[in-house]
A and B are shown apart, each in its own frame.
Chain A
Amino acid sequence: MTASRSSGQQDARADVRADVRALATPLVRSASEPYYHAIGDELEVFAAAAGSCLPVMLKGPTGCGKTRFVEHMAWRLKRPLVTVACHDDLTTADLVGRYLIVGDETVWMDGPLTAAVRAGAICYLDEIVEARKDTTVVIHPLTDSRRALPVEKRGEYIEAPPDFMLVISYNPGYQSVLKEMKPSTRQRFVALDFDYPEAAVEARIVAHEGRVDEVTAQKLVKLGNLTRKLKGAGLDEGAGTRLLVHAAQLIAKGMAPLTACTAAIARPLADEADTRDALDDLIRAVF
């Protein structure tokens, strides 16, 4: 009886362990090439930084292709990608890992950062300024010549393999003083500036991603550029390429361009009545 009970217990434990494994950070490897249209020399700079084991910082407004660029580079460099969307309650444990209790014993579960270090993946911390100030400090030893992650709770010191790469992104357009990055953090990175692509290039991107014809894409981009001029005059930020792609996708589904643009561009951008009406006027003007 004892034997059967202990074997039953072992089965349960194995189940839970399987659960823990299922919970572990997924290492994403894309099978197909994520679409990305290079604008400058960002592909070369990124590849060189990856080759020299340097961390990279991507700066740019919302929806201009930072995340897509990282996905594309991970595919190009044939490395797995771990993405963490940072938020203001992101603790060190959320990044590094924690002990879980399984049955009567504890099981260590790696956090996304630790998992990425072990696997030699690209770890992408999206919107890093959103994270708590003390959390950002754990990446410091990974970003200098040490290239290691001390995991205090396990007494472990993980040296990063050459394939590991840290990428962070942030949007300098936020005016808030709370969302500033400390110089001690920013001066560790190779930085790439992102901006909305030129009209012709952006139209090609919108046409490809949104599956609309060239003419509609051009109109959408024209609209996007018009809204970007309103930055600081009613809008915090103009429509990003992502919003334009959303509108294009709605149009491709057979929606009328006016409705699609209102829903996918004007409404997400503005709440205030005058600005919203002005955006509606712009949409009608372009189409």
Chain B
Amino acid sequence: MSERKLFAHELEARLDELLLLSLRQRSAAEPAALLEALPREMQERVLHWAGVAAQTSDDLGWLIASLAAEHAAGLDTQLDDWVRAGLDAYDRSGLAATRRTLTEFAAGHKIRSQQSHDGVAFAEIERRLSRFLHALDGRPLKLVSGPRAWTDSETLWLPQRLDVAPDTQGNRRLYKAMAVLLWAQTRFGSFNVDPEPELELWPDRDKALAWFAVFEAMRLEACIAGELPGLAQEIASLRGPWPPQLAAAAERLAHAEATAADSLAAMAELRKLGAGETPTLPHIGAMDPVAARRVRAARITRETAVVRRALKVLAAVATKTGAADNPDYSPLAAEGDLQVSDPQADLLALPPAAREAAKSLMQDLGEIPPEALHAAGPGAWQAVAGADEPVTASVTTQPDAFYDEWDYRRAAWRHGWCHLYEMEGPAGDQEWVDEVRTRHAHLIRSIRRRFESLRGEDKPQRRQFDGEEIDLDAQVEARADRKSGSEPSPRLFIHRRRVERSLAVMFMVDMSGSTKGWVNDAERESLVLLCEAIEALGDSYAIYGFSGWTRTHCDIYRIKCFGDRYDAGTRSRIAGIEARDYTRMGVAVRHLCGLLHKQNTRHKLLVTLSDGRPDDYGDEYRGRYGIEDTRRALLEAREKGIRSYCVTIDRHGADYLPQLYGPAHYSVIDDAKKLPQKIAEIYRKLTG
């Protein structure tokens, strides 16, 4: 195979073919000229991705091709990630966002590649830092990367990357010190005083804020030293000694009773003396007291409301439980005016959410504000946030769930791609079920008999070394052996071992349009027979149908949930299974495995009844894409401990099945009419 580079005219032709450019009056000459300079391997990758993107949309393909031509050389090994980020953005927010994302990614990469290897990226350290701060603070703090380090008292912004210290270890430590000092600003009340009067006296506000940050850092370091000496030492060694002219201030601010007001006093002093250059200390972030105080005020209002509502509930409860007779309670509760001398003690009585709020208030203000200790007016005690509460889904408007889908061409997820609706299966003709049961009465009887013998029971295991009971047969034998002079066996006990079937089975029934006719009848008849058989066994089972029409309409029909009984309602829903639209299988597998996974059984089994390969409207899901996505979904299921099995009626030889389910995990039935006869036997083999 020739490894020579493609020339511009060849590239232009390939791109034109992939993107149908001539139809759209566009010319690939410019990107082709840029791509000519790249090595062959790179050229092929760009063409590949342009082709992948073009399958989603021609415009996207063009965008990827033209931008890749510009950036490919710089991106090098990151090209794949770059394209995936772009495709992801396209799925989420369209073409304009894709262009933005791709350009930002390339720019970010350029900056990163210029940096040394000793730098530490925010992403590398984020989780570790957030755990650390969570432990220190007790509430989860939001960590975000931003252009500078600062905090608004709820979110900590840290730089995207640190490359100040000579080695990785040092940069990590710097991140930690920076984050801890920002956390300490909130924890030790840097925003409890209003710095504006002092700041206004300075000609340069930025400089004033920088000085405020330095003085606060001195004070906070001392506060940290009180609680976490190891951490303070680390920070001290990182910054080195304070400049000599500041040493006095540092000592004063290190006093245990120093507050932010003392920092402001130190600033005033400095202002009178004439401030020099602000010392540059990499671990000290910026301060924005205006933003921080605004966020803090909002939080205090919110949490005060929570505490007050909770106290109101307490007051109401206290009045109800005969508080009038109780001299300790009545005067406080009756007036709805809980002036508690020891708020800490009273906080223990609050519900957890309110206790958290109260703790948070203590942190912000150092005490519970007296207004919070007055019970609130009428209303629920919980703040009416509503945002976090799950929206009750209605079938017509809001999907019940969103699922990711695997795109093998990108080797990446399409996030929230499939919109899933779950609904009750339509009721069908109950008489049909009765007719099936009569027609197959003989078969049903024999299936039940065979299955009943499989029922899990206490199976005594004979001839054990140890057990609850004595095995008399073994004992008699042992005695005979001893009398005859041969060595008796020491296995003299019966151990009763409960052989639990502990099995949950999910039947996933294909309701695609192609099942219309015989296949659908065969599916329904098989389900009736299966239910009869499994009822005899006592396994836990559920039946769901699936169908759909593009990724935005993936439907799941409940025929029988795990908790449902095999009653008239279930039977009529089985009768109501009908051929509908298409088979987007991956999302159905993911959803049903989610349900199956919640079952409290040792073994979990997903059985698919289907008539062919995964398929959906449009060309995308048909063919390899659908198979790869389904395969991925089945692999996820296996990771959850769910085994899957497929029963297929596919006249065209199901060559894709071994790839999906693995060898020996599927049966192909060539004639739909045979399915009802075979299904029970398949199930018995599968679970016996």
What residues make up the interface of A, taking CB atoms closer than 8 Å to B?
Answer: 91-93, 98-99, 101, 104, 106, 132, 134, 153, 177-178, 222, 226-227, 229-230, 233-234, 274-275, 277-278, 281-287
- Please give, as numbers and ranges, the residues of chain A lying within 8 Å of B127 by CB-CB distance: 274
Q: Is A101 a contact of B135 with CB atoms below 8 Å?
A: no
A274 to B129, CA, bound (A): 8
Q: Is B229 a contact of A284 with CB atoms below 8 Å?
A: no
Q: Is A274 a contact of B128 with CB atoms below 8 Å?
A: yes
Question: What are 26 A-B interface contacts by the 8 Å CB criterion?
Answer: A92-B468, A93-B467, A98-B468, A101-B475, A106-B470, A132-B498, A222-B228, A226-B136, A227-B135, A229-B135, A229-B137, A229-B138, A230-B134, A274-B128, A274-B131, A277-B128, A278-B128, A278-B129, A278-B131, A278-B132, A278-B135, A284-B231, A284-B234, A285-B132, A285-B228, A286-B229
Judged by a CB distance under 8 angstroms, whether B227 is at the interface is yes
- Please give, as numbers and ranges, the residues of chain A lying within 8 Å of B496 by CB-CB distance: 91
Query: A104 to chain B: closest CB distance in Å?
Result: 7
- Please give, as numbers and ranges, the residues of chain A lying within 8 Å of B231 by CB-CB distance: 284-286
A281 to B228, CA, bound (A): 11
Query: In B117-137, which residues have CB < 8 Å from any A CB?
Result: 127-129, 131-132, 134-137
Judged by a CB distance under 8 angstroms, whether B426 is at the interface is no
Assuming the A-B contacts A274-B131, A282-B132, are A99 and B470 also in contact, with contact meaning beta carbons closer than 8 angstroms in the complex? Answer: yes
Judged by a CB distance under 8 angstroms, whether B140 is at the interface is yes
Q: Is B468 a contact of A226 with CB atoms below 8 Å?
A: no
Option from B176, B229, B469, B475 in Cβ contact (under 8 Å) with A287: B229
Assuming the A-B contacts A278-B128, A287-B229, are A101 and B479 also in contact, with contact meaning beta carbons closer than 8 angstroms in the complex? Answer: no
Q: Is A285 a contact of B230 with CB atoms below 8 Å?
A: yes
Q: Find the residue from A233, A234, A285 having the highest chain B CB count within 10 A.
A: A285
Other than the given A101-B492, A285-B136, A286-B231, 13 more pairs (CB < 8 A) read: A93-B467, A98-B468, A101-B470, A134-B498, A153-B469, A226-B136, A229-B134, A229-B138, A230-B131, A230-B135, A277-B128, A285-B230, A287-B229
Judged by a CB distance under 8 angstroms, whether B461 is at the interface is no
Q: Is A233 a contact of B128 with CB atoms below 8 Å?
A: no
Q: Is B468 a contact of A281 with CB atoms below 8 Å?
A: no
Q: Is B128 a contact of A281 with CB atoms below 8 Å?
A: yes
Query: In B477-508, which residues have CB < 8 Å from any A CB?
Result: 479, 492, 496, 498
- Please give, as numbers and ranges, the residues of chain A lying within 8 Å of B132 by CB-CB distance: 278, 281-282, 285
Interface of B is mostly: helix
- Please give, as numbers and ranges, the residues of chain B lying within 8 Å of A177 by CB-CB distance: 600
Query: In B209-237, which residues have CB < 8 Å from any A CB?
Result: 227-231, 234
Q: Is B470 a contact of A222 with CB atoms below 8 Å?
A: no
Name the residue on B nearest A99 (C-beta): B470
- Please give, as numbers and ranges, the residues of chain A lying within 8 Å of B134 by CB-CB distance: 229-230, 233
A177 to B230, CA, bound (A): 41
Assuming the A-B contacts A101-B492, A177-B600, are A275 and B228 also in contact, with contact meaning beta carbons closer than 8 angstroms in the complex? Answer: no
Query: In B455-474, which residues have CB < 8 Å from any A CB?
Result: 467-470
When A and B form their complex, which 9 residue pairs have the shortest distance between CB atoms, in order from nearest?
A278-B131, A93-B468, A285-B231, A274-B127, A285-B228, A226-B135, A278-B132, A229-B138, A277-B128
- Please give, as numbers and ranges, the residues of chain A lying within 8 Å of B498 by CB-CB distance: 132, 134
Name the residue on A nearest B138 (C-beta): A229
Chain B's interface size range is 20 to 34
Name the residue on B nearest A283 (C-beta): B230
- Please give, as numbers and ranges, the residues of chain B lying within 8 Å of A226 by CB-CB distance: 135-136
- Please give, as numbers and ranges, the residues of chain A lying within 8 Å of B475 by CB-CB distance: 101
Name the residue on A nearest B599 (C-beta): A177
A227 to B259, CA, bound (A): 28
Query: A276 to chain B: closest CB distance in Å?
Result: 9
Option from A99, A101, A286 in Cβ contact (under 8 Å) with B228: A286
A102 to B234, CA, bound (A): 69
- Please give, as numbers and ranges, the residues of chain A lying within 8 Å of B136 by CB-CB distance: 226, 229, 282, 285
- Please give, as numbers and ranges, the residues of chain A lying within 8 Å of B228 by CB-CB distance: 222, 285-286
Query: A216 to chain B: closest CB distance in Å?
Result: 12
Name the residue on A nearest B134 (C-beta): A233
Assuming the A-B contacts A101-B475, A286-B228, A287-B229, are A233 and B470 also in contact, with contact meaning beta carbons closer than 8 angstroms in the complex? Answer: no
Query: In B90-129, which residues have CB < 8 Å from any A CB?
Result: 127-129
A281 to B475, CA, bound (A): 63
Assuming the A-B contacts A229-B135, A278-B132, A278-B135, are A99 and B230 also in contact, with contact meaning beta carbons closer than 8 angstroms in the complex? Answer: no
A163 to B311, CA, bound (A): 45
A139 to B249, CA, bound (A): 70
A101 to B491, CA, bound (A): 11
A222 to B227, CA, bound (A): 9
Name the residue on A nearest B471 (C-beta): A101
Name the residue on B nearest A282 (C-beta): B135
Q: Is A233 a contact of B140 with CB atoms below 8 Å?
A: yes
Q: Is A284 a contact of B230 with CB atoms below 8 Å?
A: yes
- Please give, as numbers and ranges, the residues of chain A lying within 8 Å of B470 by CB-CB distance: 99, 101, 106
- Please give, as numbers and ranges, the residues of chain A lying within 8 Å of B230 by CB-CB distance: 283-287
- Please give, as numbers and ranges, the residues of chain B lying within 8 Å of A274 by CB-CB distance: 127-128, 131
Q: Is B131 a contact of A275 with CB atoms below 8 Å?
A: yes
Q: Is B138 a contact of A91 with CB atoms below 8 Å?
A: no
Query: A136 to chain B: closest CB distance in Å?
Result: 14
- Please give, as numbers and ranges, the residues of chain B lying within 8 Å of A134 by CB-CB distance: 498
Name the residue on A nearest B470 (C-beta): A99
Query: B234 to chain A: closest CB distance in Å?
Result: 7
Contact with A along B398-424 (1 / 0, CB 8 A): 000000000000000000000000000
A106 to B136, CA, bound (A): 62
Q: Is A281 a contact of B176 with CB atoms below 8 Å?
A: yes
Assuming the A-B contacts A177-B600, A285-B228, A285-B231, are A91 and B135 also in contact, with contact meaning beta carbons closer than 8 angstroms in the complex? Answer: no
- Please give, as numbers and ranges, the residues of chain A lying within 8 Å of B600 by CB-CB distance: 177-178
A233 to B129, CA, bound (A): 12
Name the residue on B nearest A96 (C-beta): B468
Query: B228 to chain A: closest CB distance in Å?
Result: 4
Name the residue on A nearest B598 (C-beta): A177
Query: B319 to chain A: closest CB distance in Å?
Result: 26
A132 to B496, CA, bound (A): 13
Q: Is A91 a contact of B468 with CB atoms below 8 Å?
A: yes
- Please give, as numbers and ranges, the residues of chain B lying within 8 Å of A234 by CB-CB distance: 131
- Please give, as numbers and ranges, the residues of chain B lying within 8 Å of A285 by CB-CB distance: 132, 136, 228, 230-231, 234
- Please give, as numbers and ranges, the residues of chain B lying within 8 Å of A278 by CB-CB distance: 128-129, 131-132, 135
Query: In B125-156, which residues have CB < 8 Å from any A CB?
Result: 127-129, 131-132, 134-138, 140
Query: B680 to chain A: closest CB distance in Å?
Result: 30
- Please give, as numbers and ranges, the residues of chain A lying within 8 Å of B138 by CB-CB distance: 229
Name the residue on A nearest B139 (C-beta): A229
A57 to B134, CA, bound (A): 33
- Please give, as numbers and ranges, the residues of chain A lying within 8 Å of B468 by CB-CB distance: 91-93, 98
Query: A225 to chain B: closest CB distance in Å?
Result: 9
